Amino acid sequence: MQNFKRAFVFIILLSPGILFLQDISNLKISIKDTDDSSRIILASSKNLSTSIEKSGSFIMVRIRADLPYKIQRRSFNSRYIESLGWSRGAGYYILNIKTSLAKFSYVSSTLKAPYRLIIDIIPEGTGKREKGEIIVESNSNAYSDSNKVDIDQGLKTIIIDPGHGGLESGAKGKFGTLEKEITLDISLKLKEIIERNLAYRVVLTRDKDIAVSLENRAAKANNNRAFVFISIHANGFFRKEARGSETYFLNLNATDEEARRLAYLENNSSELNTVEGENEDDIKMILWDMAQAAYLTQSSQLAELIQNELNTLLGTLNRGVKQAPFKVLTGVACPAVLVEVAFISNPDEERKLMKSEFQNMIALAVYRGLTNFLKLNL
């Protein structure tokens, strides 16, 4: 029996799973204030591959990780940092740093032996960094994720379309959350990120709880000579287990029955009194008599890039890129997509959509997809 125990222990120690656990790296997070800033220090027993992005009052540190980390976080009391959040996806971690500042910049640096990532949060007005500048750093060529776009071709306009509004509330969640409220919150956050980091003019089709017709949304884009049109929505379905994100671009023939149903519901809001056949005929007539037909390839590309980022950053079910005859997209004379960020009809996703942190991550994902599109089309 004694020999059996020794053999058993020997086998366990050689098992791949135990060796994997022995490779767990330590990551220590500490915060301290200086005279004019707050400093976050991430110290690791191994070198990290990281990228940093700013979104509203948040800073998000993305850490590539093939192996798990043991997080050690000390308690803190800081002037400018309110809280730290931690989430894990497939092959990465995200550290969400919530600040108490509406306007600030940050400076980051790395030290090695041992590895340390140092981020200084600086209130606006100290003169240490110009307003609106974004830093996206990576210390690994294999994980470079720079999203800064240098715009020198004049001021262009991006239209963000918060779905629904006014009496048209859109989908409603189990806990009473309304789609029109979520789409406006996300759109305002997306507008802020774009304006802080890109030399673009951003226009919302609505910036408050008002009704805007589908035709007027497209007209607003065309009157402002929009370069890109992004419509933000939250999905709803009678099966509460439906979940995930999906991004659409225009096509008369829907990808599947669910896409056709969704387009029909969006097209036939309370402001319209059409039947399905008449609505499809209208779209068919408009589709071939409009400028959008010239942008379908770019719209498909934009949809793919945004959907990739939603899947990467949010970790939700990837429902893919789809096509459907959304009337709001038909009259737009520029690349145009409609993003269904999550299912408000799913109680778990509704809870997430109610949180400002999750809304910020959605806005950041759409922003990243947009900047990738701009890099390919400028």
> HEC string of 245-307?
EEEEEECCCCCCHHHHHHHHHHHCCCCCCCCHHHHHHHHHHHHCCCHHHHHHHHHHHHHHHHH
135-149, 157-171, 217-231, 265-279 — which is least confidently predicted?
A: 135-149
Q: Helix 356-377 crosses helix 179-197 at what angle (to 10 degrees)? A: 50
Interval 28-58: pLDDT, tens: 888 888 778 888 888 888 888 888 877 777 7
Evaluate if residue 292 carries a pLDDT over 90: no
| 338 confidence band (pLDDT: 50, 70, 90) | very high
Evaluate if residue 86 carries a pLDDT over 80: no
Phi, psi of 297 (to 5 degrees): -65, -45
pLDDT of 111 reads: 79
How many residues can be counted in the chain? 378
pLDDT of 269 reads: 52
| 366 confidence band (pLDDT: 50, 70, 90) | very high
Whole-number Å distance between alpha carbons of 347 and 48: 35
- Nearest residue to 124 (alpha-carbon basis) of 142, 110, 103: 103
Interval 125-134: pLDDT, tens: 754 443 333 3
378 vs 279, more confident: 378
Interval 165-186: pLDDT, tens: 999 898 899 999 999 999 999 9
Interval 110-124: pLDDT, tens: 877 788 888 988 888
Evaluate if residue 151 carries a pLDDT over 80: no
pLDDT of 253 reads: 55
Catalogue all structural domains in the chain, each as residue range(s) with its CATH number: 23-143 (2.60.40.3500), 156-377 (3.40.630.40)
3-state secondary structure of 25: strand
Whole-number Å distance between alpha carbons of 339 and 348: 19
Evaluate if residue 284 carries a pLDDT over 50: no
290 vs 84, more confident: 84
Threshold 0.75, pTM exceeds: no
Rounded average pLDDT over 160-164: 95
Measure the CA angle with vertex 339, ends 52 and 173; round to 5°.
Answer: 100
In this structure, the strands spanning 38-44 and 25-33 are: antiparallel
pLDDT of 265 reads: 54
- What separation in angstroms does the CA of 76 have from each of 70, 80, 84, 265? 19, 11, 10, 49
| 215 confidence band (pLDDT: 50, 70, 90) | confident
pLDDT of 16 reads: 38
* 231 class by beta-carbon count within 10 Å (0-12 exposed, 13-18 middle, 19+ buried): buried
| 358 confidence band (pLDDT: 50, 70, 90) | very high
Q: In what order do the strands lie in the sheet with 25-33?
A: 69-73, 25-33, 38-44, 115-123, 104-111
Interval 218-266: pLDDT, tens: 888 888 889 999 999 998 887 777 889 999 998 765 454 554 455 545 5
